[in-house]
Each structure stands twice: as structure tokens, then as C-alpha cells.
Amino acid sequence: MDYEAVIGLEVHTQLITRSKMFCGCANDFGGEPNTRVCPVCLGYPGVLPTINREAVRKTVMAGLVCGCEVTGPSKFDRKNYFYPDMPKNYQLSQYDQPFCRGGGVALEASAGFSGAPLSPRRIGLTRMHLEEDTGKLTHLERCSAVDFNRAGVPLLEIVTDPDLRTADEAYAFLSALKQAMQYAGVSTCDMEKGQMRCDVNVSVRPRGQAAFGEKVEIKNLNSFRAVHRSLEYEIERQVAAVRAGQAIQQETRGWDDGTGATFVQRTKENAHDYRYFPEPDLMPLEITPAWVAEIAAGLPEAPVARRQRFVQQYGVSEYDAVVLTAERGSADYFEAVARGCPNPKLAANWVTTELAGALAQAGLTLAQSPVPAAALAELVSLISAATLSGKMAKEVFAEMFRTAKSAQAIVSEKGLQQVTDSGAIGELARQAIQASPGVVAEVRGGNTKALQFLVGQVMKLSRGKANPQLAVQALKDELGRGR
Ligand code: ADP
Ligand code: ZN
Ligand code: MG
């Protein structure tokens, strides 16, 4: 019998805000442990939470970007559990009245992570709700250390419908979601910093069966690759178990990146009962349609719209547009270069090849680029104006990348101006012709390769600075004249 998997994801992303969810402590990553804490996020008795308006606004933005229904009233609830990463012994979350319901994320036709083709599909969202992050535990040899800097950071939980069917689809969904969140400026989704984390729910069923199988949850996956690998492993494990006549137990499993296997963490018998109840210290929130409309009006351009606009407005290829809009940072960078120079297509080329190559080689991200967009625009302008040949421009670029100097400064310093004065090039053409009478005879005999040799001589005489097209023209003129 043929089996298929059913997958639903629960994704957590930290929101970009200045302060934490319910107190005034800074929402920053890292730093000396337990320095961004206060009585509220440390859960001292008697303190009162206050709702961070910007976090609610970012939640509404996320909901709008994914086509969710964003209507009130909403409220916060206490999710009760006892664990050292949670000093209050409850987490403020949302139970039955989340800010956003429904919506979906489109998967585009593409090659999946494993190389197999993906068909375009829309993955439904169940809900998005706002909660607070917990502290971070580090397990040492004989004890565990806890850092509360992360406790209380606004955390958006996005729950999908059980719409995904393969590890590739889960990977593509996460990529699309991350892109949407980054473009909207809702979250940086930096998984290395734990700003995006994912729990995976997966079951299997005979293909064609409508009812779902018993699901297993894999917790705390911290890379898209880990999501993909753990799903491939778990689907195979479940299918093998079902084929062997075993029933799948509803349980929580962990993922071991080293062994590449999932392992049992918690079975249904000892599942949590969180005893949710409404937070008595916070009023329910009414999200007004007027506020939602105002937020909708200020939403940044979505990735797909931007990609299409790049093709239309700047004439870049579909492929380049996909590459350039993969991340908002690269789209912003390209657009700044394109606006600052007369040849956007050439700008796209430089961003996707020369700059991308140099960054990769130096192990830098675009945000760390020593060549800012304005500087690259200047270089592209110099090429467009024929001040620099493509070859010279590469030299200048390498120097820009190394020294962070401007293209114009390097050109002046090194006397790198391309020679476009036809009088000067004509003089060099005469010299080249005089020096090689044999070759001239061959050119006259119809050997076009021989003309290339003369062009090379002119370039040599100009020390690489002559404009090659003008050199060809000058040679043809001179040779014609001597006839
Ligand atoms: P729970 O009550 O165990 O938290 P939910 O119904 O809230 O389960 O669903 C949690 C996640 O699991 C959602 O992303 C949902 O799409 C997914 N899910 C639910 N049932 C299944 C199933 N049988 N197989 C795979 N995923 C499932
Ligand atoms: Zn605090
Ligand atoms: Mg649930």
C-alpha cells in the first residue's frame, strides 16, 4: 500500500520591537546574561504587565500579509506550567481569541529542496497569536544556567492547517513565510539567533484515505534543514511501523542532528494540561477596523509584487528578479543601485555576479558589504558612460571592495580613465599599422582574425585603456584611408 504524510507546522518568530512584550526592557539579542531584566519579566510577585502596542501592530501586519482575518476582540491567557525557563510559572499567550485567524501562504512552482519539482499550492493557516518568549536554558556539565534576557520578548506563533504533504513542501512553506515576514519588517527570522523556531506535527495515512492518522510532534527544530531531515526520517519511521502492523502513538519527539534521528520525549499519558485561563491583569483588546486599515495602507510591497515590478520597471530577467528579491535586503540594495545609475540591467548583473561573488569569497553578508549601494551605482555609471571598460571596472571593483574607496577616487588615483578620444586612438591605430606591415597585408587580404591582432596592439599601446569599439573603428578608418 502507498502511504502519504500529513504535516502541520507551529512556527515561532520573535517580533521586531524596541522593548519586550509586557515590560520596558530592551528587545535585543545576546549580551551579558540577565542584564535586560526587570521585576515584570522576572515574574516578581505583585507586578503588572502592560501590552506593547508595537508588538500588536506587527502581529496585525503579519496577519494582513498572510491574508488572515484580523478582528477583535482578543485577549491574553495564562498558560500554566512549571519549568525553570519561566519564572512566573505561566506564559502569557492567547488561547481561544487570537489576533489573527485563517489566511494562507502560497507555495510557488519550483524545484523543491531535494530537487524534485513542487506544484504551486496554498497552505492554509489556522491562526496567529501573540505571546511572550521564555528564558534560555543552557545545560552545562553539572548544572543548567538560565538567561532571562529572552524572557518576555514578543513572540508570534503561526499555526498551519494540516495541509503540507512532504518535507520539501514544509521547507518551501518556511522559506515563503520567512520571506513574507522579513519583507513586512515583522521579524528578522534569524534562525541562528533563535528568532525563528519550528515544531513539526506529522502523521501518515494510506493514500486516498480521508481520515488523518495519529500525529507525532517533533519539537524545537532550529533550522529549515533540520525540519526537512527530521520529516524525512519520521515519515519513513511511521510508514515502516504502520506496514509492520504497529499503531502510531501520539507523542512528542526530539530531533538529534548528530544521529539524524527522532527520539521519544513525552507520551500522551504525561501530556501537559496547561489549564489556560484569561489573564486577570489585562483587559481584552479590541482591534478597530480603522486601525487595521491604517496598518494595511502602510504595508511594504510584498516579495512577489516586487519581483514582477523589477522585471517591468528595470528590465531585469525573471531569473535575476528571483535572485534579487529572495531577501528584502538584496532587493533594497539592488533598487538603490538601479536608481543611482542609468543602466539597471547592468546594475542587476553587478549585484548578482561580481558583488555576490566577492561577498561569498570574503564570507560576508550583503549587510556587511564594504561597497554600499551608492558606491556600486557610481561604478556602474562609469561603465555606462564608457569611462571604464568592463575589464577595468572589475579591477576598480576589487579595489573598492578591498579599500572601501569610491570608484571615482580609484579611477583618478590610478589614471584608469578609458581612452575615448578618437584622435588619440587614431594615433595609436596608425602606430600599430606602421609596426606590423605583414599583418596589415593579411587584413587587406580579408583575414578578420588579423584585425583582432591589430586591435590587441592598440589596446597594448594604450595600456588597456582604449575603448575597444573605438579602436576597431579607428583601425578600419586608417586602413581604408591608406588604400
Ligand atoms: P494539538 O491539540 O495537539 O495542539 P492541534 O489541532 O492544535 O493539535 O494542531 C497542532 C498542529 O498539528 C497544527 O499545525 C495542525 O495542522 C497539525 N495537525 C493536527 N492534526 C494532525 C495530524 N493528524 N497529522 C499531522 N498534523 C496534524
Ligand atoms: Zn523586563
Ligand atoms: Mg495546539
Chain CA centroid to CA 398, Å: 26
Q: What is the distance in A from the centroid of ligand 1 to the CA of 9?
A: 8
Q: What is the distance in A from the centroid of ligand 3 to the CA of 115?
A: 32
Point out the ligand 1 atom lying closest to the alpha carbon of residue 202: 25
Rounded Cα gap, residues 396 and 96, in angstroms? 60
Around Cβ 26, how many Cβ atoms within 10 Å?
13
Nearest CA to ligand 1 atom 19: 162
Nearest CA to ligand 1 atom 14: 8
Beta strands (DSSP E) in 15-115 are 77-80, 90-93, 100-101, 104-107, 110-111
Closest ligand (CA of 94)? 3
Place of cell 532587493: 331
What is residue 79's DSSP assignment? Answer: E
Give me 295's grid cell: 496598518
Closest ligand (CA of 19)? 2
Q: What are phi and psi of 407, to 5 degrees?
A: -60, -45
Q: What is the distance in A from the centroid of ligand 1 to the CA of 162?
A: 6
Q: What is the distance in A from the centroid of ligand 1 to the CA of 201?
A: 6
Mutate to test the pocket of ligand 1, among 79, 169, 201, 239 (most ligand atoms within 8 A of CB): 201
Rounded Cα gap, residues 363 and 361, in angstroms? 5
Rounded Cα gap, residues 371 and 411, in angstroms? 16
Q: Which residues approach ligand 1 with their CB closer than 6 A?
A: 6-10, 159-162, 201-203, 212-213, 215
pLDDT score for 482? 59
Residue 181's contacts (CB-CB under 8 Å, 6 or more residues apart) are: 13, 62, 65, 187, 189
Classify residue 483 as exposed, middle or buried by CB count within 10 Å of its CB (0-12, 13-18, 19+).
Answer: exposed
Q: What is the distance in A from the centroid of ligand 2 to the CA of 245?
A: 52
Q: What is the distance in A from the centroid of ligand 1 to the CA of 423?
A: 77
Mutate to test the pocket of ligand 1, among 6, 200, 215 (most ligand atoms within 8 A of CB): 215
pLDDT score for 464? 76
Rounded Cα gap, residues 355 and 367, in angstroms? 12
Nearest CA to ligand 1 atom 8: 201
Q: What is the distance in A from the centroid of ligand 3 to the CA of 40?
A: 27
Q: What is the distance in A from the centroid of ligand 2 to the CA of 27?
A: 9
Closest ligand (CA of 201)? 1
Rounded Cα gap, residues 155 and 150, in angstroms? 10
Rounded Cα gap, residues 457 and 425, in angstroms? 11
Q: What is the distance in A from the centroid of ligand 2 to the CA of 419?
A: 64
Point out the ligand 1 atom lying closest to the alpha carbon of residue 159: 14
Domain ranges of the chain: 3-290, 301-414, 422-481
Q: What is the distance in A from the centroid of ligand 3 to the CA of 95?
A: 9
Classify residue 442 as exposed, middle or buried by CB count within 10 Å of its CB (0-12, 13-18, 19+).
Answer: middle
Point out the ligand 1 atom lying closest to the alpha carbon of residue 9: 14
Nearest CA to ligand 1 atom 11: 8
pLDDT score for 483? 60
What is residue 355's DSSP assignment? Answer: I
Q: For domain 422-481, which CATH number applies: 3.40.50.300, 2.170.120.40, 1.10.10.410, 3.30.300.250? A: 1.10.10.410
Q: What is the distance in A from the centroid of ligand 3 to the CA of 77?
A: 14
Residue spans of alpha helices (H) in 404-421:
407-414
Closest ligand (CA of 135)? 2
Nearest CA to ligand 1 atom 22: 215
Taking a C-beta distance cutoff of 8 angstroms, is the pair 184, 61 a contact?
Answer: yes
Rounded Cα gap, residues 90 and 77, in angstroms? 9
From 70, 1, 20, select the one nearest 285 (Cα to Cα).
70
Q: What is the pTM of this model?
A: 0.84
Classify residue 32 as exposed, middle or buried by CB count within 10 Å of its CB (0-12, 13-18, 19+).
Answer: exposed
10-residue mean pLDDT profile of the chain (483 residues): values are: 96 98 96 96 95 98 97 93 93 97 94 91 98 95 95 98 98 96 95 94 97 96 96 98 95 95 87 90 94 96 94 95 93 95 94 96 94 95 84 91 91 77 86 89 84 85 80 86 64
Point out the ligand 1 atom lying closest to the alpha carbon of residue 214: 23
Nearest CA to ligand 1 atom 7: 159
Closest ligand (CA of 149)? 2
Closest ligand (CA of 163)? 1
